[in-house]
Amino acid sequence: MAGITLFGSLNTSLLGIYTHKLAMNVVSHNIANANTEGFSRQRPIIETTPPIPIATLTQPSLPMVIGTGSQVRDIQRVRDLFLDIQYRQVENRFSFWDTTISNLHFVEQLFSEPGDTGIRSLYDAFLSSVEEVITDPTNVAAKREMISTAEQLVANTKDL
């Protein structure tokens, strides 16, 4: 019959105070982080502690129960599953395209593109000098220009 004593009643009161103190801490945590990006609200799950059965003289087969207080069983995050899935899908797509763009910028820098010293401009200069040689095969200056642009293209390609 420990639950009926004064200490049992005080213990029940103390458990209630501790339970609601923890619940108030959760609420203050929610308020403090309300403007934090990505924060999800939390909620305490409060349950009763096991009661104490006490047999009575009038009905010994059906005992009377005395409550012993409450406790916080768990603290759960309040989240919307649909919004979480949407957020993860959008973040996944963003990360994919961000990585792709970063890699393409790296390749552009590797080939010095876009620019006058890039592979593309050297290749275009080489093709135009080849066209000049094809147009006039007897032009020695055009042949020298073609050889010079070919050497620049090869040298730049080797440096990659």
Give per-residue pLDDT as tens, 147-156.
999 998 888 8
User: Looking at the domain assignment, is residue 22 inside a domain?
Assistant: yes
User: Looking at the domain assignment, is residue 43 inside a domain?
Assistant: yes
Long-range contacts of 144-150 (CB under 8 A, 24+ apart): 149/122, 149/125, 150/126
Q: What percent of the chain has pLDDT over 70?
A: 94
Lowest average pLDDT, out of 53-57, 74-78, 113-117, goes to 113-117
Q: Do 79 and 114 belong to one domain?
A: no
Of 83, 101, 128, the residue that ends a domain is 83
What pLDDT score does 1 carry? 44
Could you tell me which residues are beta bridge partners of residue 54? 64
User: Looking at the domain assignment, is residue 145 inside a domain?
Assistant: yes
User: Looking at the domain assignment, is residue 125 inside a domain?
Assistant: yes
User: Looking at the domain assignment, is residue 150 inside a domain?
Assistant: yes
User: Looking at the domain assignment, is residue 61 inside a domain?
Assistant: yes
Of 66, 83, 100, the residue that ends a domain is 83
Listing DSSP states for the chain in one string gives: -GGGSHHHHHHHHHHHHHHHHHHHHHHHHHHHTTTSTT---EEEEEEEPPPEEE--SS-TTS-EEE---EEEEEEEE---HHHHHHHHHHHHHHHHHHHHHHHHHHHHHHTT-SSTTSHHHHHHHHHHHHHHHHH-TT-HHHHHHHHHHHHHHHHHHHT-
User: Looking at the domain assignment, is residue 98 inside a domain?
Assistant: no
User: How would you classify residue 51: left for phi > 0, otherwise alpha for psi between -120 and 50, otherwise beta?
Assistant: beta
Q: How far is CA 151 from CA 80, 157, 158, in A?
A: 63, 10, 10
Q: Do 6 and 79 belong to one domain?
A: yes
Q: Do 65 and 131 belong to one domain?
A: no
Is pLDDT larger for residue 144 or for residue 111?
144
Domain total for the chain?
2
Of 68, 83, 98, the residue that ends a domain is 83
Q: Do 25 and 61 belong to one domain?
A: yes
User: Looking at the domain assignment, is residue 94 inside a domain?
Assistant: no
Q: What does pLDDT average to over the chain?
A: 87
Cβ neighbors of 34 (< 8 A, separation 6 or more) are none
Domain that holds residue 39: 2-83
Q: Do 6 and 49 belong to one domain?
A: yes
Q: Do 7 and 72 belong to one domain?
A: yes
Q: Do 17 and 77 belong to one domain?
A: yes
Q: Do 115 and 71 belong to one domain?
A: no
Give per-residue pLDDT as tens, 94-138.
999 999 999 998 888 777 667 677 778 888 889 999 999 898 888
pTM of the model: 0.51
